[in-house]
Amino acid sequence: MIYGKRIRLRAAEREDLPKFVEWMNDPEVTAGLLMRLPLSMADEQRWFDGMAQRPPAERVLVIEIREGDSWRMIGTTGFHEINNVDRESEFGISIGDKSAWNQGYGTEATRLMLQHGFETLNLNRIFLHVHADNPRAIRAYEKVGYVHEGCMRQAVYKNGKYFDVHMMSVLRSEWDQIKDK
pLDDT in tens, 39-54: 899 999 999 999 999 9
For residues 114 and 80, is the Cβ–Cβ distance under 8 A? no
List domains and CATH numbers for the chain: 2-127 (3.40.630.30)
pLDDT (0 to 100) of residue 38: 84
The stretches in the chain having pLDDT less than 50 are: none
Residues 6+ apart with CB under 8 A from 168: 127, 128, 129, 130, 138, 141, 142, 146, 147, 148, 149
Query: What's the pTM?
Result: 0.93
What confidence score (pLDDT) does residue 30 get?
A: 86
pLDDT of 35 reads 74
pLDDT at 159 (0 to 100): 81
Taking a C-beta distance cutoff of 8 angstroms, is the pair 57, 80 a contact? Answer: no
What DSSP line would sit under 24-51, residue for residue?
Answer: HT-HHHHTTSS--S---HHHHHHHHHHH
Mean of the per-residue pLDDT values of the chain: 93
